[in-house]
Amino acid sequence: MDRRVLFRCPRRGGGFGVYGSNAAMHFLDFEKPIAELEGKIAELKHLSDADGLNIAEEVGRLQSRVDKDLRSAYAKLSPWQKTQVARHPDRPHALDYIRALIQDFMPLAGDRLYGEDEAIIGGMGRFNGRSVMVIGLEKGRDTETRVKHNFGMARPEGYRKARRLMQMADRFGLPIITLVDTAGAYPGVGAEERGQAEAIARCIQTSLDLRVPLISIVIGEGGSGGAIALAVGNVVLMLEHAIYSVISPEGCASILWRDGEQAKTAAEAMKLTAQDLERLGVIDGIVPEPMGGAHRTPEAVFTALRDAIEMHLNQLVRIEGGQLRARRRDKFVQMGRLQE
């Protein structure tokens, strides 16, 4: 028998997940009915293997119900549900995108000042044959890699490394692709002592000074200053179920509502979904995710993102460097302004 155990997701405010012995699929709480149906399908398949019964019809019927439920659930996700999807432990992370989209990836390390911070992965490689610099915030997949990447929360070293790589890309005319996925910059004593704020500020300053194309994609969670440090792009895209906000819903709730439990309410008020940000004119486009989110069919989201980057990059490389810089700066200065 397929033994499935219900367990509590280790994430903040995490919902219930089902851990199967065959696949470590995590389900969010609003996906529970879907998880049950999929459990039934797996059980039926298992039975049919054992008894040689023909249950194709029943499986097909269940599967189409799963698809329908998934589609309808994901078509109208609430901001809080989006927050959970954006943080989904199975969601593809920066390294997954790098593996899928970048050939000959050559990682580069260190800020030349203090240390190497693996919360930010950076290096050169080829995107559709073109030399590029890729910089991504990586959260890690399991306990070991999460610790290694400090759960995607970068320290000053990480931002200083990113800045060094941006300047290098600028010198060699490499377009830059940044992948944003972080709860925020790391809040620690050492990080503060070594100038977390200054490191982020310089990273933003350098982003605004580049004469090469800069494309930023929020692939999961875009958390505050730690995210915008890598998201001041000529083009800023978000995946369909990604979020991007000035503070986490939990943080916002505990400050403005004085109650961290109000995160759901805060998420609604903050307008943090890709769709909201597009309406506000903060981002330039949304990359569609497959039904049920990027984690269900990663290949589909890789293809969609590859197409989106290729389309924008093709346009951006035709623009002269000084223009790229001027347009990027002007875009942010005009952002949110009232029309005169």
Q: Which residues bind another protein (CB under 8 A)?
A: 185-189, 191-198, 200-202, 204-205, 207-209, 224-225, 228-229, 232, 244-247, 251-252, 255-258, 266, 269-272, 276-277, 280, 282, 329, 332-333, 335-338
Residues near 322 by beta carbon (within 8 Å), at least 6 away in sequence: 211
The distance of closest approach from Cβ of residue 197 to another protein in the complex, given in angstroms and rounded to an integer, is: 4
Nearer to another protein, 26 or 194 (CB): 194
For β-strands 285-287 and 130-137, DSSP reports them as: unpaired
Nearer to another protein, 105 or 332 (CB): 332
Question: Is residue 190 within 8 Å of 211, Cβ to Cβ?
Answer: no
CA distance 147 to 134: 22
Nearer to another protein, 247 or 286 (CB): 247
The distance of closest approach from Cβ of residue 322 to another protein in the complex, given in angstroms and rounded to an integer, is: 13
196 torsion bin: left (phi>0), alpha (psi -120 to 50), beta (else): alpha
The distance of closest approach from Cβ of residue 73 to another protein in the complex, given in angstroms and rounded to an integer, is: 25
The distance of closest approach from Cβ of residue 149 to another protein in the complex, given in angstroms and rounded to an integer, is: 16
Nearer to another protein, 102 or 243 (CB): 243
Instruction: Give the chain's largest Cα–Cα span.
Output: 74
Tokens coding 248: 């986490």
Question: Is residue 139 within 8 Å of 181, Cβ to Cβ?
Answer: yes
The distance of closest approach from Cβ of residue 195 to another protein in the complex, given in angstroms and rounded to an integer, is: 5
Nearer to another protein, 184 or 292 (CB): 184
Question: Helix (H, G, I), strand (E, B), or coil: what is residue 287?
Answer: strand
